[in-house]
Amino acid sequence: MGKIAFVFPGQGAQSVGMGKDAYERSERARAVFAQADAALGFALSDVILSGPEEALKQTANTQPALLTASAALLELVRDRLQPDYVAGHSLGEYSALVAAGVMTFEDAVRTVRARGEFMEAAVPGGQGAMAAVLGADRDRLAELCAAVTAETGTVELANVNCPGQIVVSGSASGVAAVVERGKEAGAKRVIPLEVSGPFHSSLMKPAAQRLEAVLASVAMNDASVPVVANVTARPVTKAADIRGLLSEQVVSPVLWEDTVMWLIDQGVNRFVEIGSGSVLAGLIKKTDKSVHVHSVNSLETLEALFAEDAI
């Protein structure tokens, strides 16, 4: 029998109504939504369940909302299944930390609310950008970004999602240059993204510094199961190490492809994505078609998980 990893989605996976059936039919899931509202001092649950979409898309709302949806579904999964490893994509790393007992849900939801506010405020609107680069060679794209940074404006690898899908981030001029010159790195397409800032780039340094101060005041435990960190794509369990990696994560690329490959190398052949959508399932399958991936984003998919022989 292979090993199991719980994985948690990040920003971009959100949708109005996520977790609604769990909220309506599970008292434990509903309690998680109530904890979020109490921790933040406003009805985040209303934004999650009813929108409007524009409110949910605001980074300072998106981040705690996704964490809440993941945590509510996690409550219903972990009674019946335990992971060998946990990991999350960007914001999803906080859901992984809750799953591993590093942070309480309340502390995590307050922290990611602040994280979202800091990230939105770090770069004035219109000055930063991100773009998805499809089909490019990773090393050649890194070289192109370095050349563009020297000639035009900052642009860096931000999300290494899976083979053939890398997101770049940086100044508006730097990203625009990569959009124009992507073919130099073998890109088939380069698609500008609708985002509120140049996330996971060095331009996020002001946000990282502010977040570091918040993280210093948050109680953390050592992880009960290894958390594979975005920054290193390697396991971490010590609270002090996790604290440092979380502030570093804001200005560093999310090494998701590397994370998935490392987990597979450790014998993981079953991935359970917990939270809104199924973005990570797609990325994992593009990395290795042979592994089993199941997305738990509703009560129906939860029951299907346990009906499968593979689990």
90 is catalytic: yes
Give the pair of three-digit tokens for residue 162. 């899976």
Q: Determine the residue type at 36.
A: A
Q: Determine the residue type at 96.
A: A
Whole-number Å distance between alpha carbons of 239 and 215: 11
Whole-number Å distance between alpha carbons of 95 and 101: 10
CA 243 to chain centre: 16
200 is catalytic: yes
Q: Count CB atoms within 10 A of the CB of residue 146.
A: 12
Q: Count CB atoms within 10 A of the CB of residue 155.
A: 31
Q: What are the DSSP calls for the chain, one per residue?
A: --EEEEEE--TT---TTTTHHHHHH-HHHHHHHHHHHHHHTS-HHHHHHH--HHHHHSHHHHHHHHHHHHHHHHHHHTTT---SEEEESTTHHHHHHHHTTSS-HHHHHHHHHHHHHHHHHHS-TTSEEEEEEES--HHHHHHHHHHHHHHT--EEEEEEEETTEEEEEEEHHHHHHHHHHGGGGT-SEEEE---SS-TTSGGGHHHHHHHHHHHHTS-----SS-EE-TTTSSEE--HHHHHHHHHHHTTS-B-HHHHHHHHHHTTEEEEEEESSSSHHHHHHHHH-TTSEEEEE-SHHHHHHHHHSTT-
Q: Which of 70, 90, 171, 295 is catalytic?
A: 90
Q: Which of 70, 89, 200, 276 is catalytic?
A: 200
- Catalytic positions are 90, 200
